[in-house]
Amino acid sequence: ALTYREQLVRESPAVVEYRADLARAHDSLAILDPQLGRVPEAEDRFGKALAIRRQLVVEQPKVIAYRTE
């Protein structure tokens, strides 16, 4: 699922919802990673999600959901 979302973002970077979905996917996996003993991967995923969300807030400041997720 993550690979598919990353591909969508690469092919259509202007589609904001694809990037928001990618951030949510990173968050979901980051929550699971520590349970599987993959703490560094979780930190990396949370960092990627945060970077995506920060960019969404810059680009879409009126969309409250991007500031609160």
Q: What is the pLDDT of residues 2-40, one digit of tens each?
A: 999 999 999 999 999 999 999 999 999 999 999 999 999
The distance between the two most distant Cα atoms of the chain, rounded to a whole number of Å, is 38
Cα-based angle 14, 33, 13 (whole degrees, multiple of 5): 5
22's CB contacts (< 8 A; 6+ apart) are: 2, 5, 6, 8, 9, 52
Give the global pTM: 0.90
